[in-house]
C-alpha cells in the first residue's frame, strides 16, 4: 500500500523519442486525421443533401460516420498536440474523458455494424416486409440503442478502471487505453475490470455471431436467386458492409491477440493505430468505391457546385 500514490496526471509514453520522431508522428497523424475528416464529412453531406439516399441503410451510414469522427477526434488531436508541443502529460480528468468517449464510440461502432447487418438481412431475405420492418421509428430506435449500449459500456469501464488505486502514472501508449491503465493498477480490485473486459468481449462476440448469422442467411438467399443481375445487385449492397466489418473486427482481433513487446521499440502503439485510426479512414473509401448511389450523389453534388460557381463567374452580356 505504500506504493499507492494520488494520481493527478498520467504520463503518455506512446511514440516518445527524439524530436524528429515526434514531428514525424505529428505529420502522419495530421494527414490521417484530415483524410478521416474529409471522407466522413463528405459521406454525411452527400446523404443529407441527396434525397435518393434517404433510406435506412444510409441513415445508419451517417451514424457510422459520426461515430468514426468522434472516436478519432477524442484521440488523435490530443496526441498530435502532445507531439507538436513535446508534452507527454495528460490530466486525470482528461484521461477519464478520453477513455470514456473512446469506449463509447468504438463500442457503438460495433453495435451499429450489427444493426446494419440486420438491415441488409431484411432487405434481401424479406424484401416484401422491408417497409414495415424497417420503419423510420424503428431505425431511430435501433441506432439510438447502439449509441446507448456504447454509453453504458463506457460508464461500466469508467466506474471500474478509475476506482482502482494506481502505483504508477506511466502509460505506455499514446492515449488512455483500458488495458494499459489496468497494468499500472496495484490492487486485487483490478479483477473487477477484468470482469468488465470479459463482459465487453462477450458482447462483442455476440455482435459478431449475429453478423455472421445474418450473412449466412443473406448468402443462402442470394445463391437461390435465378437472376444473375439480382445477385450482383444484392452483393453490391453487402460487400461494402462486409469489408467494413472485416476491417474493424480484424484489426481489433489482431491488436489484442498479438503479444505486446517489452523492447524499447515495441508495436503497442502501431497496433493501437490499426483499430482506432485505420477503419475510420478506410470506411468512406469503401462505401464510396463500391456504391453506385453514393458515387452518383457525389458527381451530382460536384456538378451542382461547379455549375453554381460558373454562373457566378459568367460575364454579363451588355
| pLDDT tens string 8-56 | 888 888 766 677 888 888 899 999 999 999 999 999 998 998 888 888 9
Mean pLDDT within 117-128 = 91
* Burial readout 86-105 (b: 16 or more C-beta within 10 A, e: otherwise): eebebebeebebbbbbbbbb
Long-range pairs, 15-23, Cβ under 8 A, ≥24: 15/79, 15/83, 15/174, 15/269, 16/88, 19/86, 22/83, 22/84, 22/86, 23/83, 23/84
Cα 27 to Cα 21, 173, 297: the distances in Å are: 10, 18, 32
Q: What's the CATH superfamily of 23-258+267-310? A: Rhodopsin 7-helix transmembrane proteins (1.20.1070.10)
- Which of 48-57, 140-149, 162-171 has the lowest average pLDDT? 162-171
DSSP state of 169: -
pLDDT at residue number 5: 56
Rounded Cα distance, 228 and 215, in Å = 19
Amino acid at each position: 500500500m505504500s506504493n499507492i500514490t494520488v494520481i493527478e496526471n498520467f504520463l503518455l509514453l506512446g511514440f516518445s523519442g527524439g524530436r524528429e520522431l515526434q514531428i514525424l508522428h505529428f505529420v502522419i497523424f495530421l494527414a490521417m486525421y484530415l483524410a478521416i475528416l474529409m471522407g466522413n464529412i463528405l459521406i454525411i453531406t452527400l446523404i443529407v443533401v441527396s434525397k435518393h439516399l434517404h433510406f435506412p441503410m444510409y441513415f445508419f451510414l451517417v451514424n457510422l460516420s459520426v461515430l468514426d469522427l468522434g472516436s478519432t477526434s477524442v484521440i488523435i488531436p490530443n496526441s498530435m498536440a502532445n507531439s507538436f508541443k513535446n508534452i507527454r502529460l495528460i490530466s486525470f480528468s482528461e484521461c477519464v474523458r478520453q477513455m470514456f468517449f473512446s469506449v463509447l464510440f468504438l463500442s457503438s461502432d460495433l453495435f451499429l455494424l450489427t444493426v446494419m447487418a440486420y438491415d441488409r438481412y431484411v432487405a434481401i431475405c424479406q424484401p416484401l416486409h422491408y417497409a414495415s420492418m424497417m420503419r423510420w421509428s424503428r431505425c431511430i430506435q435501433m441506432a439510438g440503442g447502439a449509441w446507448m449500449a456504447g454509453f453504458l459500456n463506457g460508464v461500466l469501464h469508467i466506474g471500474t478502471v478509475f476506482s482502482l488505486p494506481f502505483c504508477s502514472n506511466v502509460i505506455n501508449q499514446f492515449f488512455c487505453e483500458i488495458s494499459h491503465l489496468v497494468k499500472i493498477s496495484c490492487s486485487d480490485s483490478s479483477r473487477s475490470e477484468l470482469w468488465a473486459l470479459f463482459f465487453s468481449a462477450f458482447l462483442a462476440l455476440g455482435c459478431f455471431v449475429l453478423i455472421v448469422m445474418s450473412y449466412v442467411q443473406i448468402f443462402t438467399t442470394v445463391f437461390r436467386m435465378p437472376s444473375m443481375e439480382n445477385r450482383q445487385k444484392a452483393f453490391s449492397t453487402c460487400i461494402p458492409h462486409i469489408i467494413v466489418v472485416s476491417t474493424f473486427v480484424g484489426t481489433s482481433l489482431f491488436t489484442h491477440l498479438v503479444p505486446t513487446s517489452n523492447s524499447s521499440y515495441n508495436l503497442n502503439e502501431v497496433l493501437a493505430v490499426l483499430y482506432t485510426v485505420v477503419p475510420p479512414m478506410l470506411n468512406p473509401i469503401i462505401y464510396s468505391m463500391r456504391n453506385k448511389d453514393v458515387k452518383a450523389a457525389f458527381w451530382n453534388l460536384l456538378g451542382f457546385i461547379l455549375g453554381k460557381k460558373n454562373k457566378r463567374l459568367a460575364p454579363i452580356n451588355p
